[in-house]
A and B are shown apart, each in its own frame.
Chain A
Amino acid sequence: MNATLLLVQALNGLQFGLILFLIAAGLTLVFGVMDFINLAHGVQYMVGAYLVAAFTAWTGSFGLALLLALPSSLAFGLLLEAVVFRHLYDRDHLDQVLATFGVILFVDEGVKFVWGAAPLNVPVPDVLSGSIELMDGLLYPVYRLAIILAGLAVGALLYVLVHHTRVGMLVRAGASNAAMVSALGVDIRRLFRLVFGFGAMLAGLAGAMVAPILSVEPGMGDTVLILAFVVIVIGGIGSIRGTFLAALLIGLVDTVGRAFAPDLLRVMLDPATASQTGRALAPMLIYILMASVLFFRPSGLFPTKR
């Protein structure tokens, strides 16, 4: 293990963490404001990726495809909200888990029906292809840097929206006590649709951004969804700040852990055992992290509900 490799992995972890943040932000706000647990949020991410793949094939330009994919994911999210989710707000979490699980089954299969089961590839846009030398001997793909920058920009935008605008104030108020906000004369349902649509769009954006570096395939949202849940649970449900920190933490721990766990264990164990244990341990790290955070702080790092 050397410093350059560590830095590359740290950047990859940062990029992964920011993608997770885009997905988890919508999830945590929807959950925080409406107490609505939406397993189908990962579907938004997948749909975002598929839409950008389809639009890229159609228009030939990734930038144009991204511009088209955003409103389409927003529309898709609002459609789901109107058809299914709206009827579940007053139900308990169990019903919400099940019904949104049904949505996942349907959309995963639907995507397979429309685009086939084989993974799609989206080419990296020409402007952002290639690598640049960040430091001596450290080449990093431009596209991944672009994702990091875009993720940071969206994060900053979200921070300003949530903490320095009137709507953001209502969202925060809703997350800490929705009934009180409603009693003060705010149409909480409309507020929720706004938050929901915005969250769906962010997840769609995350999917669209990773489409060129991952393969676009049915079920790609499911793994990410579970990670996003780990993120919001660690961060404290409803807290944007907690989600941001937890997303970066999970991104870094997962990426760096996978890359270096075998090497680290080699200090204590013989090489064969170390690489075996390391490979077994690395994917478990984030779940161990989550369990230990919840052990000491059962409502996450930054609980919003009083």
Chain B
Amino acid sequence: MSDLAEAQPVLSTGARRRDLVIPGLLFAAFAAAPFLAAASGAEGYVLSLVTRVMIYGLAALSLDLILGYGALVSFGHAAFLGIGAYAVGILASHGIRDALVQVPVALVASALFALVTGAISLRTKGVYFIMITLAFSQMLLFFIRSLAAYGGDDGLTLPARSLVAGQPLLQSDGRLYWASLACLAGTYLLCRSIVASRFGRVLRGAKENPTRMEAVGFHPFPYQLVAYVISGMIAGLAGCLIANQTEFVTPAFMTWQRSGELIFMVILGGLASLHGAVIGAAAFLLLEEQLQGLTEQWRMILGPLLILVVLFARGGIMGLLQRGRHV
């Protein structure tokens, strides 16, 4: 992991410009996708697949913020997806269908959950951190599953997608697509500025060498906690979008397998580049889609593939791209 951090020294303007190429291409592709989808003849399918890619990209992005830049291996990140989704689902079942209420509630709930669990989890290190974040997400999963009033194990069907200021702005798949793209792009820019800021440097410093950070006068804990809360809120936003896309919320959003998949997306794309996480999410979901079409036992292919990626493709897709550029 450390070689990735070293690969990001103070960038020359040339490198900085090159650094914009990949995210630029990525977002251009997202912007062009609806038009290509219309031409492809399977518009609905392509649109919903790419929307899903962007939503999971958003969740993976949030994980990359703490995993890539803070080395905080959260194995319970799917919990925040669940919080976001259930905020939408539970409010909608009480007749509150406006996203202007649902999204802030989801963000506040995610932030509170992250604040409390983060404050406890960050006292631990290494594998204990992995396990305690896992434990908290399992705790929430069991809690949600026991809520019989909101569907329990079976989940909850939304009456319809969220309204925006009373208007049915998200009802068509096309509109939801643009809304998801706006969320992803806005969050990406926000995260970019976070990691480039003084705050982001402290976070990265604490990842590289916490003792040295303490010695130069920074106590990592508050920085890590704030990063964890921000990350949780972004994942909560992704949860709101998922609920709106599927129009169905289920405890399956927050299983530990889902958390594992999120980590895989980040690793597959390449740690600590932000857009790498989005690319990883895209690669994972497209791969999953392909394999599912191929055979019912697609996980028998996905599992070994995952192992191979870990063993041989260090640095993920972004690593491969960068290596190609240096040669």
Q: Which residues on the B side are within 8 Å of A284 (C-beta)?
A: 139, 142-143
A101 to B73, alpha carbons, bound, how many Å?
14
Min Cβ gap B113→A in Å is: 13
A9 in contact (CB, < 8 A): no
Q: Which residue of A lies closest to B71 (CB)?
A: A94
Is B297 part of the contact surface with A, judged by Cβ < 8 Å?
Answer: yes
- A288 touches B (CB below 8 Å): yes
User: Closest CB of chain A to B128's CB: distance in Å?
Assistant: 6
Closest-CB distance, A273 to chain B (whole angstroms) = 12
Residues from chain A with a CB closer than 8 A to the CB of B267 are: 94-95, 98
Binary per-residue interface labels of chain B (109-120) against chain A in the complex, 1 for a CB within 8 Å, 0 otherwise: 000000001001
Instruction: Tell whether A171 is near chain B: CB-to-CB under 8 Å.
Output: no
Q: How far is the CA of A94 from the CA of B134 in the complex (A)?
A: 14
The answer to whether A106 touches B299 (Cβ under 8 A) is: yes
Please report the C-alpha to C-alpha distance between residue A291 and residue B131 in the assembled complex, in whole angstroms.
Answer: 10
B303 engages A109 (CB within 8 Å)? yes
Interface residues, chain B, with chain A CB atoms under 8 Å away: 1, 67, 73, 75, 117, 120, 123-128, 130-132, 134-136, 138-139, 142-143, 145-148, 256-257, 260, 263-264, 267, 297-300, 302-307, 309-311
- Interface check A25, CB cutoff 8 A: no
Does the CB pair B128–A113 fall under 8 Å?
A: no
Residue of B nearest to A110 (CB): B300
Where the two chains meet, the residues of A that have a C-beta atom closer than 8 Å to any C-beta of B are 31, 37, 84, 87-88, 91-95, 97-99, 101-110, 112-113, 222, 226, 229-230, 233, 237, 276, 279-280, 283-284, 287-288, 290-291, 294-295, 298-300
Contact A105 B134 (CB under 8 A): no
A104 and B147 CA atoms in complex are apart in Å by 29
Question: Which label, helix, strand, loop or mixed, suits the secondary structure of the B interface?
Answer: helix
A276 to B302 CA separation, bound complex (whole angstroms):
39
Given contacts A109-B297, A226-B138, contact A98 B306 (CB under 8 A): yes
Q: Is the CB of B139 within 8 A of A101?
A: no
B73 touches A295 (CB 8 A): no
Known A112-B297, A229-B131, A287-B138; judge A102-B146 contact (CB<8 A).
Answer: no
In the complex, chain A residues whose CB is within 8 Å of the CB of B1: 92, 94
Pairs A–B under 8 Å by Cβ, sample size 10: A84-B307, A88-B311, A98-B310, A102-B306, A109-B298, A109-B300, A230-B131, A233-B128, A280-B142, A288-B139
Q: Which residues from chain A contact B67 at a C-beta distance below 8 Å?
A: 94
Contacts of B310 in A (CB 8 A): 88, 91, 95, 98-99, 102
Given contacts A101-B264, A108-B299, A109-B297, contact A298 B128 (CB under 8 A): yes
Interface centre among B1, B117, B130 (most CB of A within 10 A): B130
